[in-house]
Amino acid sequence: MSEAVELHSVKNLVSAEEWAVREDLAAAYRLVAHYGWDDMVFTHLSARVPGPEEHFLLNPFGFLFSEVTASNLVKIDCDGNVVLNNGFRVNTAGFTIHSAVHMSRHDAQAVMHLHTDGGVAVSSMECGFLPLNQHAMFVFHDTAYHEWEGVAINLDERERLVADLGDKHLMILRNHGTLALGGSVASCFMRMYYLERACRIQVDTLAGGGAPHMPSSDAVSMMESAFSDPKTWEGLATQSWPAMRRLAERIGPGYRD
């Protein structure tokens, strides 16, 4: 590998468009940590680098999400090879899921994969993800399923994962966790927020022991009609993401370094 560039130089070595994506993705890492959705140094959030090359940004392996910055994000290709050496490496096996989605869905500008208690719990329920409440119905219609095949180190799994995902923007990875994609870091984060909140609420609801009250099929259909267009999510994200960036700033502006 070539000699690593100094971290303070990374901003000057990439386009303004790439740097903007780096800041958004680093903010998303800090927000995931803030909400307690991280899993030590495991799981990943990735983003496509603007431009014709098939390059992506991923967290430096061995770093907590609270330590990720715009400069220490690693730029890699579809095979996980580093294309801008900033002195860090990625968990290549961990990129298996992300590379599958990025390569097959060019609308996937960002991909997020988590192992939260709520998400893993719902992924392990025979009933799966239920349209129990408003939070769930924002994303219920847009959620696919993929059976667990063990730790995702087999590249052959990518074809099966992509086939199961289809044209959906969210996925329950059975006995494993959750996955979201979006046309921007902002919309990807927003989808994941609703899925994770809904999973946590489902666990709490079912823990009560009583039979849950299910909404009407008309209400479920109405929410699907209202929130099935990706442009709707991009519009909502445009409204909400500046506030999330302000939250990231209050948590610590170092993510922009």
Q: How far apart are CA 103 and CA 162, in angstroms?
A: 9
Q: Is the pLDDT of residue 213 over 80?
A: yes
Note whether residue 153 is domain-resident: yes
What is the average pLDDT across 194-219?
95
pLDDT, residue 217, reads 93
Domain around 134:
7-256
Residue 76 lies in a domain: yes
Q: Where does the chain have alpha helices with state H? A: 10-13, 16-34, 95-104, 117-123, 134-139, 157-165, 185-207, 217-227, 230-251
Helix (H, G, I), strand (E, B) or coil at 149: coil
Q: Tell me what the mean pLDDT of segment 224-234 comes to.
A: 95
Q: What does the pLDDT look like over 140-183, one tens digit per residue? A: 999 999 999 877 666 778 889 999 999 999 999 999 999 999 99
pLDDT given at position 174:
97
Asked whether the predicted pLDDT for residue 198 surpasses 70, the reply is yes
pLDDT digits (tens, 9 = 90+) for 3-58: 788 888 999 999 999 999 999 999 999 999 999 999 999 999 999 999 989 999 99
Position 49 in a domain: yes
Nearest to 14 by CA among 69, 70, 60, 59: 70
Global pTM reads: 0.95
Least confident of 48-52, 93-97, 158-162, 222-226: 93-97
What is the distance between the alpha carbons of residues 62 and 91, in angstroms, rounded to a whole number? 9
What local confidence, expressed as pLDDT, does residue 99 receive?
86
Structure tokens at 129: 């993800």
Which of 50, 67, 66, 48 has the alpha carbon at shortest distance from 58?
48
Mean pLDDT for 188-212 is: 96
- List C-alpha distances in Å: 212 to 55, 203, 205, 243: 45, 11, 7, 34
Give residue 111's Cα distance to chain centre: 4
Q: Is residue 17 part of a domain?
A: yes
Which of 50, 145, 42 has its CA nearest to residue 95?
42
Nearest CA among 6, 17, 199, 189 for reference residue 110? 189
Burial class of residue 213 (count of CB atoms within 10 Å of its CB; 0-12, 13-18, 19+) = exposed
pLDDT at 1 over 70: no
Residue 52 resides in a domain = yes
Non-local (6+) Cβ contacts of 248 within 8 A are: 27, 30, 31, 34, 255
105 pLDDT exceeds 60?
Answer: yes
Indicate whether 205 belongs to any domain. Answer: yes
CATH number at residue 12: 3.40.225.10
Q: Is residue 2 part of a domain?
A: no
Specify the number of domains making up the chain: 1
Confidence of residue 2 (pLDDT cuts 50, 70, 90): low
What is the reported pLDDT for 80? 85
- Mean pLDDT of the region 196-220: 95
Q: Give a yes or no: residue 34 inside a domain.
A: yes
